[in-house]
């Protein structure tokens, strides 16, 4: 019996080897569909459609190549040393007392230092030339900006969970759809309604954050027609996965047709319509508005879309004048700006806000005042104590005197 088991043991090992080999082959075959799916990726970051994104692509490629100048030799020398000085190679040099080589130290430290200097210079130049707030200096590598290249202004609002695009020059707006003509500079003004998002079109330019109560900017240009994907690159809640849009890069003629198609829509985006649109919703379809309130984006940035609500710009102007004093406590205490009670949210009480004193919108349609002189409300509404008159100190004085100067006995 033992001899039979002894003779069959090699066959058992062969069977186990065949079984393991079959499992490995099946695993490799199972990965083939994944490889086929990955082959369909277009790597839009490495094949962009706009000059700004092209410069960013070049920055990434050059930085990677510079780093590979160190990484690849290190990996190759690691494999070479492991093979050359293996234990079985008795012909290799054996110097247990070796400790220092000036030439080797020079190579080890000089090469990375040069790479760091090159990367630092490249990053410094790219940071300034590709600043999103900086106006474009060229349409493409061989075409500088000229006087007739008027930029296209687009106002972007990140909502929960959709994108609103306003074209102030044309008086139209869209939801989850953006279009621009090729070879024309684009100037984005970006804000958000409630939480921070990130506006990102990989084929056009880098990502820029959209924050409530603030305005960020992005300058970009597209150089070839096509339809590209835009989305939010910053997680912002339950509907984040559906917060994407299509960016249409069109010829000037096709862009004019697109604008005409948007204007043909009978929908109007006013302040009350925006308050409804602002409510959280996910996977929203494309919407088009043939007309839009010209002051809507300004009101969104200043967080005063609701009628009667004080704008942040008004509040800052009042603060610059010294504030409202005790008389304004009832207004300033409930200032929360919907942090815990957003419109459409399921938590928190109804939002409270500071009441507007006298906004420009309330004066629309009224007759102009008799006097056009500026009206200063500083003495009113408890602006605080008056500042003492400034008296320059004598040359010998080294102290800072904050009160009124004492009277002289003479």
Residue 192 to residue 203: CA distance in whole angstroms: 22
Residue 177 to residue 186: CA distance in whole angstroms: 15
Q: Can you give the pLDDT at residue 185? A: 93
Q: Can you give the pLDDT at residue 148? A: 85
Condensed to tens digits (0 to 9), the pLDDT of residues 119-152 reads 899 889 888 888 899 988 889 888 888 888 899 9
Q: 138 and 51 in contact (C-beta within 8 Å)?
A: yes
Question: Which of 210, 215, 216, 213 has the alpha carbon at shortest distance from 234?
Answer: 210
Q: How many CB atoms lie within 10 A of CB 332?
A: 14
- Which CATH architecture fits 140-301? Sandwich (2.60)
What ranges do the domains of the chain cover?
A: 140-301, 312-362
Rg (CA), the chain: 33
Q: 304 and 359 in contact (C-beta within 8 Å)?
A: yes
Kindly state the helix (H) or strand (E) to which residue 294 belongs, with its residue range: none
Residue 212 to residue 389: CA distance in whole angstroms: 40
Q: Can you give the pLDDT at residue 208? A: 93
Q: 317 and 375 in contact (C-beta within 8 Å)?
A: no
Q: How far is CA 197 from each of CA 202, 228, 234, 236, 399, rounded to the nearest angstrom? A: 15, 19, 5, 6, 50
Residue 15 to residue 9: CA distance in whole angstroms: 10
Residue carrying the six token digits 């004492």: 406
Residues 6+ apart with CB under 8 A from 157: 163, 164, 165, 166, 190, 191, 192, 193, 210, 297, 300
Kindly state the helix (H) or strand (E) to which residue 343 belongs, with its residue range: none
Residue carrying the six token digits 């820029």: 208
Q: Can you give the pLDDT at residue 33? A: 62
> Vertex 70, ends 58 and 102: CA angle to 5°?
140
280 secondary structure, DSSP code: -
Residue carrying the six token digits 């079109």: 201
Q: 175 and 287 in contact (C-beta within 8 Å)?
A: yes
Condensed to tens digits (0 to 9), the pLDDT of residues 166-217 reads 999 999 999 999 999 999 999 999 999 988 999 999 999 888 999 998 999 9
Residue 26 to residue 397: CA distance in whole angstroms: 90
Listing DSSP states for 76-141 in one string gives HHHHHHHHHT-TT-TTS---TT----HHHHHHHHHHHHHHHHHHHHHHHHHHHHT-TTSPPSEEET
Residues 6+ apart with CB under 8 A from 152: 167, 169, 180, 181, 184, 185, 186, 187
220 secondary structure, DSSP code: E
Q: How far is CA 303 from each of CA 175, 184, 194, 354, 369, rounded to the nearest angstrom? A: 20, 31, 10, 11, 28
- pLDDT tens by residue, the chain, 410 residues: 445 444 454 444 445 545 555 656 566 666 666 555 544 456 777 888 888 988 889 888 998 998 898 889 889 999 998 888 888 888 888 888 888 888 888 888 898 899 999 989 988 988 888 889 998 888 988 888 888 889 999 999 999 899 999 999 999 999 999 999 999 999 999 999 988 999 999 999 888 999 998 999 999 999 999 999 999 988 888 888 889 999 999 999 999 999 999 999 889 999 999 999 999 888 999 999 999 998 999 999 998 888 888 888 888 877 766 666 665 555 555 554 554 555 555 555 565 556 666 554 544 544 444 444 444 444 444 444 444 554 444 443 333 333 344 444 43
pTM check: above 0.85: no
């Amino acid at each position: 019996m033992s001899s039979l088991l002894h003779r069959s043991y090699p066959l058992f090992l062969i069977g186990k080897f065949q079984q393991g080999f079959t499992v490995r082959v099946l695993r490799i075959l199972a990965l083939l569909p994944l490889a086929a799916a990955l082959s369909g990726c277009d790597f839009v970051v490495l094949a962009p459609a706009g000059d700004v994104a092209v410069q960013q692509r070049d920055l990434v490629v050059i930085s990677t190549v510079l780093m590979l100048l160190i990484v690849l030799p290190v990996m190759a020398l690691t494999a070479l040393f492991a093979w050359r000085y293996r234990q079985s190679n008795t012909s290799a040099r054996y110097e247990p007392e070796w400790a220092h080589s000036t030439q080797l130290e020079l190579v080890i430290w000089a090469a990375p230092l040069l790479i760091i200097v090159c990367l630092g210079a490249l990053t410094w130049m790219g940071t300034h030339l590709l600043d999103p707030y900086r106006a474009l200096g060229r349409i493409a590598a061989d075409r500088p900006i000229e006087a007739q290249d008027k930029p296209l202004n687009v106002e972007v609002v990140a909502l929960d969970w959709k994108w609103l695009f306003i074209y102030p020059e044309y008086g139209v707006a869209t939801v989850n759809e953006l279009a621009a003509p090729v070879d024309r500079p684009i100037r984005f003004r970006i804000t958000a309604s409630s939480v921070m998002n990130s506006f990102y079109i990989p084929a056009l330019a880098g990502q820029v954050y959209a924050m409530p109560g603030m305005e960020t900017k992005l300058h970009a240009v597209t150089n070839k027609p096509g339809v590209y994907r835009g989305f939010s690159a910053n997680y912002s809640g339950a509907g984040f996965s559906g917060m994407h849009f299509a960016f249409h890069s069109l010829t000037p003629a096709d862009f004019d047709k697109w604008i005409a198609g948007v204007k043909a829509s009978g929908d109007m985006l006013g302040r009350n319509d925006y308050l409804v649109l602002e409510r959280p919703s996910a996977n929203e379809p494309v919407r088009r508005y043939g007309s839009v309130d010209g002051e809507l984006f300004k009101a969104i940035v200043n967080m005063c879309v609701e009628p009667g609500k004080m704008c942040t710009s008004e509040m800052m102007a009042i603060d610059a004048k010294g504030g409202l004093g005790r008389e304004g406590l009832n207004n300033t205490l409930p200032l929360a700006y919907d942090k815990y009670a957003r419109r459409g949210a399921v938590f928190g009480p109804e939002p409270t806000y500071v009441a507007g004193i006298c906004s420009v919108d309330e004066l629309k349609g009224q007759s102009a005042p008799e006097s056009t002189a500026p009206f200063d409300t500083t003495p009113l509404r408890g602006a605080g104590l008056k500042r003492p008159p400034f008296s320059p100190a004598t040359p010998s004085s080294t102290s800072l005197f904050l009160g009124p100067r004492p009277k002289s006995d003479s």
